[in-house]
Structure 1
Amino acid sequence: MKQFAGLIVFLFVWSSCTLSPIDKVQQTIETQAKLLVDSGYIEKKYIVFEDYFFNDLYRIYLIGDTECPLDNSLGCPSRIVSYKDKFLCFSNHDEPEMLFDEVKKITFYSGNPLNDCFNSIKWVMVVSNRGKMEKLFNYKQLEETATVLNWTELWPYFSGYEAHCPVQMAFNSYNVKIDLKNPRPYNIDSLNLRRGVLENMIGINGKMYLKNNTDSIVMLSSDTKKHCAIVNGIDTLYLSLCDSLPIVLKPYEYRYCSFQSIPDECFFKKLVLERSPWDHLHCLFSDFAYNLMDVNQHKGITRVMHVNTGWLDICDENDLNLFYVLDSDMKRDCNPFYKSRYWEKQFKED
């Protein structure tokens, strides 16, 4: 009998150790969701867990209850778990979406997502990729900050965060700019897009977030146009802020500045040779992005924070958005514009 009990314990521990990272995360958020239901914090039928942000260490989920099992980008869940009279709907970036007919069959949903999908976000949950519950925040705190990058409690979970920096810098967004005058043949609906676009790449631009973390005035300055660096081995892509320097930030002031890359064909030629160019590009922005500007005339190199949502826009030389590309790890479409067009077409045909 003791041997049998020991075998049961061994199998339980073994199964826990062999869970995949997403399964460990899933197990943790399921437990927390059930606690929210049992505590009476959930009023509506569907509890939606939207995979908002992810990196090598953490995942951040937006949690809300709604009258529709779809997430805020109108995407179907990856998994559904029934609990009491509720349905826990999980939208994970690295898991494929369920079919809508399957969702309806499991949840008994019969409405129109365009009318019902107003997810009332109530909490933000941070879970490590090992399945450890890190933080559970009230979403009202985030709403009061005006932008997610101002929510300093989340900074330690973003890639590139450095504590005690007088100025916190972060990529709010970045886009790939391609040359359409001499395009290479590729199908934008195929995987060839990843390599084909890079062969026509002429630069990167986007928005940079700057936040003064001190109670005194801070000045950013530089003697060159090389304000930030994306380092890829021996090759470096330099980024230049479009605002005139010096930039003066009042105590605790934050600001968004546009940036663009300084032309460098060698950087992009090497990038296209990578096995997964887009994933490698995301990795470079997450782990190898540095600020080169002087802070209050003091030289020093600090990391630039990156909030990875897993997709980026492709634009032409006139900054006109053409389409977008997902990380190869992403198995779901997270662009709400394309999703809404899809649902409009579906219900119009019905």
Structure 2
Amino acid sequence: MEVSQHVRAILSFVEAADAGSFSAAARKLGISAAAVSKNVAGLELVLGVRLMNRTTRKINLTEEGTAFLSQARIALGALESAVDSLVARKVEISGHVKISTSVAFGREYLLPVLPGLLERYPGLTVDVDFDDRMTDLIRDGYDIAIRGGRIVDSSLITRPVCRLKTVLAASPDYLASHGVPQIPEDLTQHRLIARRFLGGRINAWGFKRDDGSLTTMDPEPAVLTLSAPEALVQAAVAGLGIAQIGIHHALQYLESGQLKAVLFGQYDPGSYEMVIQYPHRTLIAPRVKVTVDYLLAAFEQEKSLHFPEEKLAAYQFRQEDS
């Protein structure tokens, strides 16, 4: 008899002993009287002793049955305590959460909200890996991944954080010295800062045609090629050239006047997204669920992650900026 059958049999025995009949125990357990009788008979067979004497109207415990009943109550009580303990733990929310995120997003957006998460759920501990490579959540043992790009992994639950739009920007000093591009073709006369992904691909720049179609150009030859998105911002602020930068990275520098948007209205900001992903499970662990919900709510309050593209028009270069 398997463990699960043992439990059903013991429960049937205890309920029958308490109720005084198989039919009364069956009503309480929501099964048939025949099933209760079969469970008790199977238990007796495994134990090798008779636990009950049956008549047509009632049942009486044998001496062995009386002794076993007290032990059975202890066993069932232990099971109930285990269930209660797990339920209490779910309410208290405790455990370890392992997160994978990119270096830039993790430092700028995840780290600042972790104190609030840990204050709300003091029983949590968090382990964060800062890695720009795509990770395999299941294989590498992560509970959560925060990813940016074109998300295609349908084997995971995906919760959107924001759209990741970009802007072409340069410092006022650079634009005053080298001029402001008026059309995409003018970029061939400028110093361009390119981004190279870890796989070696150079990120192309997209532009909108008058007929509504899109075209792309590779920012080559580039005066500088970088892999870290935050380094693109620093290079552009330093006046090294024009760079394609995530709006969420560039916003504080646009607002301070250290960067200016170029080719606004002609440049295509892209269609990337930032998401939170976790393995597809029927029952998500409470420690993971509260972490995901907290992070989504915190990121929703971050202005730079949801800045409207059309408002970039206010940050274009004007001659008085030079």
- Larger radius of gyration, structure 1 or 2? 2
Q: Whose helix fraction is larger, Structure 1's or Structure 2's?
A: 2
Asked if these proteins are the same fold (TM beyond 0.5), I'd say no
Q: Whose strand fraction is larger, Structure 1's or Structure 2's?
A: 1
- TM category (shorter chain) comes to under 0.3
What TM-score, normalized by structure 2, do the two folds share? 0.23
